[in-house]
Amino acid sequence: MKARLPQGYGGGGAANLQQLARQAQKLQEEMDAVSAQLEETEYSATAGGDAVKAVVTGKMEVKSLEIKPEVIDPDDAEMLSDLVIAAVNEALRTASTDKAERMEKISGGLNMPGLF
């Protein structure tokens, strides 16, 4: 006995699979293009009322770090360290959030591990 599929199901399996593969390839190409663009994007953040400014790239690498001379106190290196960490972490968070939002727009919210 053969199982019957409801109308509209089956009959175009190979064609549907090819169409799905083309859509997946197009999606991957779009995501690659956005990833390349994001890697070139710079994100900056400041801490301590602009006393420390960190700039990171979309590759999550620190590109520059600016420290105003007036916040350099040899007796309070810990405070300067805290400001640097805060600025770098905020810049990295901004880069990460931007990447996630852009990828979600492309993928329509699909969770595809390994793609981004």
Residues 6+ away with beta carbon under 8 Å from 33 = none
Judged on CB neighbours under 10 Å (0-12, 13-18, 19+), 40 is exposed
What residue ranges do the domains of the chain occupy? 13-107
CATH superfamily of domain region 13-107: Nucleoid-associated protein YbaB-like domain (3.30.1310.10)
Given this model, what pLDDT does residue 28 score?
87
* pTM, entire model: 0.69
Given this model, what pLDDT does residue 22 score?
87
CB 39 within 8 A of CB 57: yes
Given this model, what pLDDT does residue 24 score?
84
Alpha-carbon gap, residue 64 to 55, rounded angstroms = 5
Given this model, what pLDDT does residue 111 score?
59
Mean pLDDT by 10 residues, the chain (116 residues): 61 74 87 88 95 95 95 92 96 94 79 54
Given this model, what pLDDT does residue 55 score?
97
Partners of 44 in the beta sheet?
A: 55
Task: Locate 10 and state its tokens.
Answer: 């089956």
Given this model, what pLDDT does residue 110 score?
63
CB 38 within 8 A of CB 100: no
